Amino acid sequence: MDKLRIKNRLEIEKMKRSGKAAATVLKRIGEAIAPGVSTADLERISRDTIAEVNATSSFLGYQPPEHQPYPATICTSINDVVIHGIPDKGHVLKAGDIIGIDTAVSIDGYHGDNAYTFAVGDISPVAERLLDATRNSLYDAIAEAKPGNRIGDISFKLQNGAESHGFSVLQSFAGHGIGRNLHEAPEVPCMGVAGRGLRLRPGMVLAIETMVNIGLPDVQMSPDGWTITTVDGSLSALFEHTVAILSDGPEILTGSALWEI
């Protein structure tokens, strides 16, 4: 993870462009999600859209320590897959599934990162509750992303919004600062104590993300070296926005019509 970098006005203007592009990719994929569609089909749409908006994938070839380079431009995480599911033509959506799509792109050297969990056809009432609670907790957390507050104020809202529904948040993965690098300091955990942690300042840009399991918080790595699943097989959802902290409060850089309720 790169160090914390405060962005100036010009840099935030640039990040609005990459944020918008990342949101466009996510929205296009969302429009294509339906029973019978494979996650390889979604990868194709992602690549076409990234080219159309003149962006570059932040994920393709991305290689954290002790990982193989990531082979795709999106993560496609179905049902008990929490994060980092790899698109595959053998993974075909069916009614009742939920699928988390995570995508980041860069334009002019700056990244934008977002994720959304979609319902495929009709889903169970508890899956509906999971998606609503997770998305709402993200918005409650974003509202805390203002100067003077602390990272813990964001993390607490993510944790509380999930746990108040009897769900659990992941301990082992977190949101992050974002800019010229996909991952910059600070870490933004999905669990924490209000009033604790680094103080937020204008010019910080954070990818605030939350991963919520219906059951236990425990997760495991699959043999492919990327895919993370719940140990108890329960459903998991993720949502993420790139958010700039401005002097008058948070600005979501990855907003789009997709997120309107």
Q: Which residues of the chain form contacts with ligand MF3 (CB under 6 A)?
A: 59, 62, 70, 75, 84, 102, 104, 113, 176, 207, 209
Residues 77, 134: Cα–Cα separation, whole Å: 15
Determine the length of the chain. 261
Which of 237, 211, 205 has its CA nearest to residue 113? Answer: 205
Bridging pattern class, strands 228-230 and 174-177: unpaired
* Candidate segments 5-13, 109-117, 145-153, 230-238, binder of Co ion by CB under 5 A: 109-117
> How far does CA 217 lie from the centroid of its chain?
17
**From the list ligand MF3, Co ion, none, partner contacted by residue 84 (C-beta under 5 to 8 A by kind):** ligand MF3
Residue 220 gets the label, from left (phi > 0), alpha (psi -120 to 50) or beta, of beta
* Candidate segments 105-113, 129-137, 162-170, 242-250, binder of Co ion by CB under 5 A: 105-113
Q: Considering beta carbons, is residue 133 or 188 the nearer one to ligand MF3?
A: 188
Q: Which of 81, 207, 219, 238 binds Co ion (CB under 5 A)?
A: 207
Can you tell me whether residue 29 is helix, strand or coil? helix
Q: How far is the CB of 247 from ligand MF3 (least distance, A)?
A: 26
Q: How far is the CB of 208 from ligand MF3 (least distance, A)?
A: 10
Residues 253, 257: Cα–Cα separation, whole Å: 13
Task: Please tell me whether residue 113 binds Co ion under the rule CB under 5 A.
Answer: yes
List of residues contacting Co ion (CB under 5 A):
113, 207
